[in-house]
């Protein structure tokens, strides 16, 4: 009798609505062919993870592989994803030297994904600062999962501010595609003026990063994009809200009939202003860390279901870009792919919350928003057999074990005690991380088109 399954993987299954001890996932080819509990069915290979937790491979809805190194960063960032149990990366479009602003650039980037990625990738698209609205239909047709625009300018080419009339026209065009548009939400004038005042006063110490990007800089930007969402019918999504108010505004506008959502990055669920004082440049990201009281309000929003999903905003700047006494001169962004799963598990455990919330907020909801569920982000028959296996225990997170290039091996979570580690990762049925080393090769990852 020939075995009907190529591989059976045993452990405690965690889905958004269940915890199943003695469970199994049976794989045929690259997809999940059966799920159950108790005596597993025969297969060509059986891998028993004992009491370890098996979750859907995480879908990180927001990260940047290529903002410092260009597309070669895809290979190294997705190695970290493999080691971190993230099996689908939704990559931002703000790449050097070319952001993803038309179908030809998108096709080039897809080629890099197919040749070099270790995990599967969905891609965002964006528009040029001027005259780029016309490329919106071709980017959507090319299979991007979402658009990304910004109210704040980091760079006129790579990461431009889109002015109000252009953004309004872009939202009208994006509404016709049915895709969501994520927005980097900070008010340019407020931040620039506060930063200039801080510099003039000789204050370039770490806490001034928080003071010059106050919560109001976010909520003002949230309001303008949500007003345009209401006007145009576009699904407008805050790419990262560090404040509970962002989610409350999204809810208020939904009640008015708009399609408005917001995302939390994991750092806003645990880091505070004290951490940037301690970490200096290595704790700099935009928006900045807030107060401990704000972190509590963020958890209130998560537990109440007001947060669309939780992401990393992984942006691996080389160590040298994070050094120096001038906080304004440091690159903004944290590494996060390899720490994502252990940290999310730990934060939930520390609050007495179920790991089912991790399956919900770090896999199912992000996959749904990006139009790739249930192929991705689900433990279901017919889904890709993407699995995250977590071993519970006490593990110190050590930045030296980050599998990115040497200058990217730093973490704001270095030395933090974690309550779990990633014991294995499976991509479409194949183990790509065994708890010690990355087993995948560049090109094992694929581009994932938005399905609808």
Q: By C-beta, is 167 or 431 nearer to Zn ion?
A: 167
Query: Residue with structure tokens 């889904």?
Result: 383
Contact 245, 301 (CB under 8 A): no
Q: By C-beta, is 313 or 384 nearer to Zn ion?
A: 313
CB of 281 to Zn ion, least distance (A): 17
For residue 159, what is the DSSP state?
Answer: B
Q: What are phi and psi of 265, to 5 degrees?
A: -90, 155
CB of 182 to Zn ion, least distance (A): 9
Strands 146-150 and 120-125: parallel
Cα–Cα nearest to 184, from 285, 327, 308, 286? 286
Cα–Cα nearest to 424, from 34, 79, 52, 78? 52
Q: Show the binding pattern over residues 222-261: x = contacts Zn ion (CB under 5 A), - = does not.
A: ----------------------------------------
Q: By C-beta, is 54 or 265 nearer to Zn ion?
A: 265
CA-to-CA distance for 313 and 265, rounded, in angstroms?
Answer: 6
CB of 154 to Zn ion, least distance (A): 10
CB of 47 to Zn ion, least distance (A): 35
Q: By C-beta, is 60 or 313 nearer to Zn ion?
A: 313
Q: How many CB atoms lie within 10 A of CB 79?
A: 24
Q: Looking at 307-315, 345-353, 400-408, 421-429, which segment touches Zn ion (CB under 5 A)? A: 307-315
What is the token pair recorded at 361?
Answer: 């907020």
Q: Looking at 256-264, 305-313, 342-350, 411-419, which segment touches Zn ion (CB under 5 A)? A: 305-313
Q: By C-beta, is 129 or 375 nearer to Zn ion?
A: 129
The neighbouring-strand residues paired with 36 are 24
CB of 210 to Zn ion, least distance (A): 18
Q: By C-beta, is 120 or 313 nearer to Zn ion?
A: 313
Q: By C-beta, is 332 or 427 nearer to Zn ion?
A: 332
Residue closest to Zn ion when measured from CB atoms: 313
CB of 67 to Zn ion, least distance (A): 8
CB of 270 to Zn ion, least distance (A): 18
CA-to-CA distance for 238 and 264, rounded, in angstroms?
Answer: 9
Q: Looking at 35-43, 125-133, 308-316, 347-355, which segment touches Zn ion (CB under 5 A)? A: 308-316
Q: Show the binding pattern over residues 259-298: x = contacts Zn ion (CB under 5 A), - = does not.
A: ----------------------------------------
CB of 121 to Zn ion, least distance (A): 15
Which residues of 3-152 form beta strands (DSSP E)?
A: 5-15, 18-28, 31-37, 43-56, 58-63, 86-91, 120-125, 146-150
**Helical residues (DSSP H) of 38-184, grouped into ranges:** 73-84, 103-116, 136-141, 164-177
Cα–Cα nearest to 318, from 16, 1, 96? 96
Q: Looking at 10-18, 41-49, 310-318, 377-385, which segment touches Zn ion (CB under 5 A)? A: 310-318
Site for Zn ion in 106-135 (CB under 5 A): none
Total binding residues toward Zn ion, as defined by CB under 5 A? 1
Cα–Cα nearest to 336, from 133, 132, 89, 19? 89
Q: By C-beta, is 273 or 313 nearer to Zn ion?
A: 313
Contact 84, 340 (CB under 8 A): yes
CB of 425 to Zn ion, least distance (A): 23
Q: By C-beta, is 270 or 418 nearer to Zn ion?
A: 270
CA-to-CA distance for 229 and 256, rounded, in angstroms?
Answer: 11
Q: By C-beta, is 14 or 80 nearer to Zn ion?
A: 80
Geometric angle at alpha carbon 153, from 150 and 158, rounded to 5°: 85
Q: Show the binding pattern over residues 311-340: x = contacts Zn ion (CB under 5 A), - = does not.
A: --x---------------------------
CA-to-CA distance for 371 and 90, rounded, in angstroms?
Answer: 11
CB of 259 to Zn ion, least distance (A): 21
Cα–Cα nearest to 186, from 138, 147, 153, 209? 153
The residues that touch Zn ion, with contacts defined as CB under 5 A, are: 313
């Amino acid at each position: 009798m020939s075995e009907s399954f190529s591989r059976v993987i045993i452990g405690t299954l965690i889905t958004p609505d269940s915890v199943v001890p003695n469970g199994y996932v049976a794989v045929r080819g690259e997809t999940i062919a059966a799920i159950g509990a108790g005596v597993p069915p025969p297969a060509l290979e059986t891998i028993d993870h004992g009491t370890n937790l098996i979750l859907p491979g995480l879908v990180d809805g927001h990260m940047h592989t290529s903002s410092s190194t260009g597309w070669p960063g895809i290979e190294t960032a997705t190695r970290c994803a493999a080691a971190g149990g993230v099996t689908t990366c939704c990559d931002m479009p703000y790449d050097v030297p070319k952001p993803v602003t038309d179908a030809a650039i998108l096709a080039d980037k897809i080629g890099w994904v197919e040749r070099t990625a270790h995990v599967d990738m969905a891609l965002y698209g964006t528009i040029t600062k001027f005259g780029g609205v016309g490329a919106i239909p071709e980017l959507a047709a090319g299979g991007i999962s979402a658009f990304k625009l910004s109210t704040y300018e980091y760079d006129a080419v790579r990461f431009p501010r889109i002015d109000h009339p252009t953004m309004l026209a872009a939202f009208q065009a994006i509404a016709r595609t049915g895709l969501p548009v994520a927005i980097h939400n900070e008010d340019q004038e407020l931040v620039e003026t506060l930063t200039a005042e801080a510099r003039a006063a000789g204050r370039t110490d770490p806490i001034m990063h928080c003071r010059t990007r106050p919560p109001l800089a976010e909520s003002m930007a949230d309001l303008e994009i949500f007003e345009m969402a209401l006007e145009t019918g576009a699904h407008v999504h805050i790419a990262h809200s560090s404040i509970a108010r962002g989610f409350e505004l999204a809810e208020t506008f939904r009640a008015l009939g708009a399609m408005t959502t917001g995302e939390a990055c994991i750092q806003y669920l645990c880091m505070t202003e004290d951490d940037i004082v301690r970490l200096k440049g290595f704790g700099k990201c935009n928006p900045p860390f807030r107060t401990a009281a704000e972190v509590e309000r963020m958890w209130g929003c998560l537990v109440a279901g007001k947060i669309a999903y939780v992401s990393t905003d992984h942006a691996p700047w080389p160590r040298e870009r994070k050094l120096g006494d001038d906080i304004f001169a440091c690159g903004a962004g944290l590494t996060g792919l390899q720490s994502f799963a252990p940290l999310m598990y730990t934060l939930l455990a520390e609050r007495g919350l179920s790991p089912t919330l991790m399956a919900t907020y770090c896999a199912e909801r992000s996959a749904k928003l990006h139009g790739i569920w249930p192929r991705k982000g689900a433990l279901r028959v017919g889904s890709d057999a993407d699995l995250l296996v977590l071993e519970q225990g006490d593990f110190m997170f050590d930045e030296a074990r980050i599998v990115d290039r040497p200058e990217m091996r730093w973490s704001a979570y270095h030395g933090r005690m974690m309550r779990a580690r990633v014991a294995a990762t499976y991509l479409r049925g194949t183990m790509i991380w065994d708890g010690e080393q990355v087993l995948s090769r560049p090109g094992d990852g694929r581009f994932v088109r938005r399905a609808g």
